[in-house]
Amino acid sequence: MGINMDDFLQLLNLTQMQCIIVMVTAFLVGFSKTGISGVLMLVIPMLASVFGGRDSTGILLPMLLVGDVFAVWSYRRSVNWKKVIAPLPWALIGMVIGAVVGKVISDQIFVILIGIIVLFCLGILLYTEKMGKNFEVPTQTWFYITAGILSGFATMIGNAAGPIFSVYLLALGLQKNHFMGTNAWFFFIINSIKVPVQIFAWHNMGMQLLILTAVVLPVIALGAVLGFFIVKKINEKFFRYLIIGMTALSALRLFM
């Protein structure tokens, strides 16, 4: 006997709108992990506005881990392990701070904090885009420490550390494939570390979310495959600006 849509949504404890947002999120997670990473910024405020701050991070994290696996496999021959390991201690400090802050603040403040982090990251993206080849990345020790701590905090609170860590990688002068491979392994490691924190400290991940992730796995895979091939064929700069604009509007909505 088949299952209709209402029964399916009830099984996953989702409304129709929430289901649509989850499907869009799953596709863009896959696309961002193998294609244009800035796409991921769009879904963070979308999820927060529909599911709430803390719960949205629990929904997104298992999908990110699946996307990380696709990214790690796609760029498995292009990882610089020294560059992956070096920022981890500082990122862990930021994650601990984020875990404590996320535990004690209200969900309303959590949502606003996600909005602030997203807008901050968008500012970084816009600045690096505007400066182009003239963008000079600091190489002093303080920069690496700051980038690591901020990446850890941003990934813990809003899963939004991508632009911050990208600036760190730009400072290293990595070629595109090594950039993608190093980025993939770093986020696979820290996203894995976040799982027990969100299960046992924040209590926003459980079996139902694992079932939901399993259901949207084909959508994540589709996004990852298309991202890997489409990124070579589209006008990346126009697409990036479009995503930045849409993300800014979504993030500003979190303050209303």
Please give the share of the chain, as a percent, with pLDDT higher than 70. 92
The rounded distance, in Å, linking the Cα atoms of 79 and 178 is 5
Q: Which two tokens stand for residue 51?
A: 């599911």
The structure's pTM equals 0.87
pLDDT (0 to 100) of residue 169: 84
Q: Which two tokens stand for residue 61?
A: 């994290």
Per-residue pLDDT tens digits for 29-69: 988 887 777 788 888 998 999 999 999 999 999 999 998 99
Per-residue pLDDT tens digits for 120-177: 988 888 887 777 767 676 667 788 889 899 999 999 998 989 888 888 887 777 777 7
Return the domain boundaries, the chain: 5-253
Q: Is the pLDDT of residue 256 over 80?
A: no
